[in-house]
Amino acid sequence: MNEKQRTIKTPVSLEGIGLHTGCRVTITFKPAPVDHWITFKRTDVEGSPEILAIVDHVSDLNRGTTLATNGIKVHTVEHVLAAISGLGIDNLTCELDNAEPPVFDGSVKPFVDKLLEAGIVEQESDRQYLVIDEPIAYSEPERKVDIVVTPSDDLRITFMIDYANPALGTQYTSLVSLTDEFVEEFAPARTFCFLSEVEMMKSQGIIKGGSLDSAIVIIDKEMTEAELEEFKKKFDIDRDIKLQKSGILEDKKLRFDNEPVRHKAVDLLGDIMLIGVPVKAHFLAARSGHAANVAVAKKIRSMYEKQLLSKKYGSNGLQQGYLLDINAIMKILPHRYPFLLIDRIIDLEPEKCVHALKNVTINESFFQGHFPDHPIMPGVLIVEAMAQAGGFLLLETIGRPKDKLVYFVSMDNVKFRKPVVPGDQILFDVTLVSFRRNVCKMSGKAYVDGQLVTEATMMAAVVDRDQDASD
């Protein structure tokens, strides 16, 4: 039996202080329709703009995950997203009247409790999973960060941290079942930081709403009484604090023996929500933070977008090492024989670049006259094929390809570096440089056997199909 998408039954609100901005904010969770996913809505901004919680909208990763569109930001979203993910919610609108959700005690439990209070309900549509069917690896050797994603029949997280600090040392945790473990065993785990980091972050002005009640502070330095008093002044602390031998400021009792690494697993859970679809995979992470988490989320979302594109146009190319076949190309480009000059789309990054392939055979009609005794592909047709690859990228980027055409308006810096002959296979790399008011600039290169044969800078305009060419 297929699982159903889920949202909440009734709106619920929480009020508190944002960790980094120090703003007082109310966050209201509201039910959302099927296939809506998760959005953050800034009700304090004119027009109440919404930001879809996907990795494409990540704008900053300094001590948290920030989302932004059109200059409108929501800071430190990972705890909210982790609560939503841990409870298996697919569709939700998170309304905020300021720029950052509350931090509370540094755990996701307040969000979890409030969402459970609202009630979780099933919706009519089935839940669509992204199933990871082959391992994915990410590594930052200089920081000793590693993440490996392997196939699994459910979402699982295994996390390891190791610090040269006796209060932490090496810690390990494994989240095997969101249903059975998340609410009681992971949601209460609080964020942590080192005492030296607290002072640094305070001087940088990025924990304006932070307090000793919003995190576990690990002692990693000695402080004199005078330095301790100065520390209290910086944070407006009016009670006595001491550097206890436990290694944790104020001798704060941990909720779990390995509470810090459990919270790191929760952060990862929130960051991978930015893939934009529920995932069935096992994430194994060592010493990972937001930057690495989001890098992996980007990699997986790119795979997901390619799967959607391949499915949209009925192509089976992904199993054979390419993205779209000629039948899919003909659903987007208006060109037909004898002027359709690309055979496959090898890869595509929406709004960024396309890699296309052209097989050059002696059966090409132009070889009859160019030249009968010395066949060479006309340079103008190489550029035309490059332009068609760019046109494919544009039409897929804007959507509605059946309603639009691409007119190329100029070609600059065109260079032909090597002849193209029958038997060659041309690989086109076309990158979108800029796109404003339906006019775009693209940079294209053509390669044969890894050698550059042609390059050009192209300008094109996207027009309606029924628009007169003279307009």
Say which CATH number the domain at 169 has: 3.30.1700.10
Q: Environment class of residue 460 by beta-carbon count within 10 Å: exposed (0-12), middle (13-18) or buried (19+)?
A: buried
Report CA torsion sign: 331, 335, 336, 342.
negative
Least confident of 13-27, 204-218, 295-309, 350-364: 204-218
- For the segment 108-127, what is each residue's pLDDT rounded down to a tens digit? 999 999 999 999 999 999 99
- The larger pLDDT score, comparing residue 39 to residue 404, is at 39
Q: What angle do CA 365, 366, 370 make, to 5 degrees?
A: 140
What is the domain-level CATH number for residue 398? 3.10.129.10
For residues 263 and 381, membership in a common domain is answered with: no
pLDDT of residue 245: 65
| Residue 354 covered by a domain | yes
CA distance 214 to 207: 10
For residues 168 and 110, membership in a common domain is answered with: no
For residues 111 and 155, membership in a common domain is answered with: no
Distances (CA, A) of 159 to 61, 170, 183, 289: 20, 11, 18, 11
Residue 267 has pLDDT above 50, yes or no: yes
- Is residue 118 within 8 Å of 8, Cβ to Cβ? yes
CA distance 10 to 247: 43
Domain hosting 235: range is 136-307
Domain's final residue, options 307, 323, 342: 307
- For the segment 284-312, what is each residue's pLDDT rounded down to a tens digit? 999 999 999 999 999 999 999 888 888 88
pLDDT of residue 471: 40
pLDDT of residue 246: 66
| Residue 130 covered by a domain | no
| Phi, psi (degrees; rounded to nearest 5) at 84 | -65, -45
- Average pLDDT (16-28) is 95
Domain's final residue, options 283, 307, 331: 307
Question: Inter-axis angle of helices 195-204 and 225-234, to 10 degrees?
Answer: 50
What is the domain-level CATH number for residue 57? 3.30.230.20
| Residue 383 covered by a domain | yes
| Residue 131 covered by a domain | no
**Which string of DSSP letters, residue by residue, matches 356-375?**
EEEE--TT-GGGGTS-TTS-
CA distance 202 to 19: 11
pLDDT of residue 213: 83
Rg (CA), the chain: 27
Least confident of 207-216, 259-268, 310-319, 461-470: 461-470
CA distance 255 to 181: 15
370 is catalytic: yes
| Residue 129 covered by a domain | no
Percent of the chain with pLDDT over 70: 98
pLDDT of residue 194: 86
Q: Which residue has the tokens 């007082």?
A: 24
For residues 288 and 396, membership in a common domain is answered with: no
- The larger pLDDT score, comparing residue 202 to residue 345, is at 345
| Residue 116 covered by a domain | yes
CA distance 346 to 355: 5
Tell me whether the omega of the peptide bond preceding residue 371 falls within 30 degrees of 0, making it cis: yes
20 is catalytic: no
Domain's final residue, options 254, 289, 307: 307
- For the segment 350-390, what is each residue's pLDDT rounded down to a tens digit? 889 999 999 999 999 999 999 999 999 999 999 999 999 99
For residues 82 and 222, membership in a common domain is answered with: no
| Phi, psi (degrees; rounded to nearest 5) at 117 | -60, -35
Amino acid identity of 214?
Answer: S
Least confident of 89-98, 195-204, 252-261, 413-422: 195-204
For residues 210 and 240, membership in a common domain is answered with: yes
CA distance 67 to 50: 11
Residue 199 has pLDDT above 80, yes or no: no
**Which residue of the set 282, 290, 335, 374 is catalytic?**
290
For residues 452 and 398, membership in a common domain is answered with: yes
| pLDDT tier at 210, thresholds 50, 70, 90 | confident
Residue 419 has pLDDT above 80, yes or no: yes
For residues 323 and 402, membership in a common domain is answered with: yes
Distances (CA, A) of 303 to 123, 306, 310, 386, 427: 27, 5, 11, 25, 21
pLDDT of residue 175: 98
Query: If you ran DSSP here, which 8-state letter would residue 184 be given?
Result: I
Residue 470 has pLDDT above 60, yes or no: no
C-alpha neighbours within 13 Å on the C-beta side of residue 457: 5
User: What's the chain's average pLDDT?
Assistant: 92
For residues 281 and 372, membership in a common domain is answered with: no
β-pairing verdict for 156-162 and 282-286: parallel
Count of the separate structural domains present in the chain: 3
| Residue 471 covered by a domain | no
Nearest to 293 by CA among 65, 32, 73: 65
For residues 352 and 270, membership in a common domain is answered with: no
Least confident of 124-138, 198-212, 314-328: 198-212
For residues 145 and 28, membership in a common domain is answered with: no
Residue 221 has pLDDT above 70, yes or no: yes
- pTM, two decimals, is 0.85
CA distance 470 to 344: 32
pLDDT of residue 467: 64
For residues 333 and 285, membership in a common domain is answered with: no
pLDDT of residue 399: 77
| Residue 470 covered by a domain | no
Distances (CA, A) of 353 to 239, 346, 462: 58, 11, 17
Query: If you ran DSSP here, which 8-state letter would residue 186 be given?
Result: I
In residues, how long is the chain? 471
